[in-house]
């Protein structure tokens, strides 16, 4: 369902774009949970049985996902798949599940139910399912960067829908300008502009995917502690990093943590990323490293998070 846009300049542009497109389809085939023949689906079907050989790439990505779960104290959790399905986010059959239904699913949720086995095998406990939706596009953007580099691309933009990678600077030799969506307004209306070169910028927000039932709005980013959509004071989180997979994992995680926990997480890990976080009261929080590279146009208070 995602519109993607790839632009390249300098180097072997045609070959780079063709290879990039092929790679996106290859990754979709491998990592999508809704494709029955994907490696992820085969692993999910084998849950509770013998370990499945998922190949080196998927095993490494699952291993990284488990590391993010540990680093974020469980906020990031690929085993929420059955819970996302209960809310209808996987099959577009939106509904608010009963508390009792979620209570039955939560015992199978948690990184401890995923086991890295020998070689390139992985096993899941009975009832556990994984979904790499919060990390796959970030990983794909890392692959795009590698392909651009192999083809000598000097300037470019890869937009995978909420996951952007900017290659080099723009053709005037300035940093690229990346627009940050205003969660409160229609698609394309900006809350701010970020300047960056050779960086990944990934946004997670409740406004990206949601439904309404009986006047209640429910979005797709689930708090693993409750099984309910995370409502912890943030409406959008953008992560800027030199690592696309990390940026994707952390945009989802910090959204769940809420402003205070997310700020202290950044203080601990500030060497690896920067962040722009929008609070539900209109305040925009920006980490110190970004303060001079981003402008906020919503008129809300801007708070710089200092080291
Ligand atoms: P993102 O847009 O990168 O924030 O990823 C959101 C997607 O990740 C959702 O549509 C779900 O498929 C999945 N997801 C939801 N909650 C979590 C979570 N707490 N940890 C990991 N993945 C999640
Ligand atoms: Mg993410």
Q: Quick check: CB of 234 below 6 Å from ligand 1? A: no
The pLDDT tens digits for 133-175 are 999 999 999 999 999 999 999 999 999 998 999 999 999 999 9
Sort residue 75 into left (φ over 0), alpha (ψ -120 to 50) or beta.
alpha
Spatial strand order in the sheet of 163-167: 5-9, 155-159, 163-167, 199-205, 234-241, 274-279, 284-287, 302-305
**If you measure from the C-alpha of residue 16 to the centroid of ligand 1, how many angstroms do you get, rounded to a whole number?**
29
Q: Quick check: CB of 76 below 6 Å from ligand 1? A: yes
- 201 strand-pairing partners: 164, 240
Strands 274-279 and 294-296: unpaired
**If you measure from the C-alpha of residue 135 to the centroid of ligand 2, how many angstroms do you get, rounded to a whole number?**
5
Q: Strand runs (DSSP E) across the chain, as ranges?
A: 5-9, 52-53, 114-116, 121-124, 155-159, 163-167, 176-181, 190-196, 199-205, 210-213, 216-219, 222-223, 228-229, 234-241, 274-279, 284-287, 294-296, 302-305
Q: Quick check: CB of 77 below 6 Å from ligand 1? A: yes
Q: Quick check: CB of 222 below 6 Å from ligand 1? A: yes
User: Which residue's C-alpha comes closest to atom 5 of ligand 1?
Assistant: 134
Q: CA 15, CA 10: separation in Å to the nearest integer?
A: 12
CB-based contact 66:111 (threshold 8 Å): yes
Q: What pLDDT is stored for residue 2 in this prediction?
A: 87
Q: Which residues of the chain are modeled with pLDDT < 70?
A: none
Q: How far apart are the first and last CA of the chain?
A: 39
Q: What is the DSSP code string of 72-93?
A: TTTSS-GGGHHHHHHTTTTTT-
- What is the model's pTM? 0.97
CB-based contact 283:258 (threshold 8 Å): no
Q: What pLDDT is stored for residue 300 in this prediction?
A: 87
Ligand nearest to the backbone CA of 86: 1
- 278 strand-pairing partners: 236, 284
């Amino acid at each position: 369902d995602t519109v993607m846009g790839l632009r390249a300049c300098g180097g072997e542009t045609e070959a780079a774009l063709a290879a990039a497109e092929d790679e996106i389809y290859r990754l979709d085939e491998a990592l999508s949970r809704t494709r029955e023949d994907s490696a992820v689906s085969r692993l999910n079907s084998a849950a509770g049985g013998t370990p499945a050989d998922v190949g080196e790439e998927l095993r490494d990505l699952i291993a990284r996902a488990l590391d993010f779960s540990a680093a974020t104290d469980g906020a990031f959790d690929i085993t929420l798949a059955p819970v996302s399905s209960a809310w209808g986010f996987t099959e577009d059959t939106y509904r608010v599940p009963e508390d009792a239904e979620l209570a039955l699913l939560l015992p199978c949720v948690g990184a401890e139910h995923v086991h890295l086995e020998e070689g390139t095998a992985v096993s899941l406990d009975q009832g556990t399912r994984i979904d790499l939706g919060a990390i796959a596009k970030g990983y794909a953007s890392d692959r795009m960067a590698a392909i651009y580099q192999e083809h000598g691309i000097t300037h470019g933009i890869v937009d995978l829908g909420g996951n952007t990678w900017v290659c080099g600077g723009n053709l005037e030799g300035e940093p690229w300008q990346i627009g940050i969506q205003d969660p409160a307004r229609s698609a394309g209306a900006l809350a701010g502009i970020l300047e960056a070169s050779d960086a990944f910028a990934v946004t997670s927000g409740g406004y990206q995917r949601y439904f309404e039932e009986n006047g209640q709005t429910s979005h797709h980013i689930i708090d693993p502690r409750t099984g309910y959509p995370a409502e912890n004071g943030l409406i959008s989180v953008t992560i800027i990093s030199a690592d696309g997979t990390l940026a994707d994992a952390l945009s989802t995680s910090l959204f769940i943590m809420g402003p205070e926990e997310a700020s202290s997480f950044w203080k601990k890990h500030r060497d690896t990323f920067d962040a722009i976080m929008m609070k539900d009261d209109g305040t925009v929080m920006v980490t110190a490293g970004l303060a001079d590279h981003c402008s906020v146009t919503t008129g809300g208070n801007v708070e710089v998070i200092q080291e």
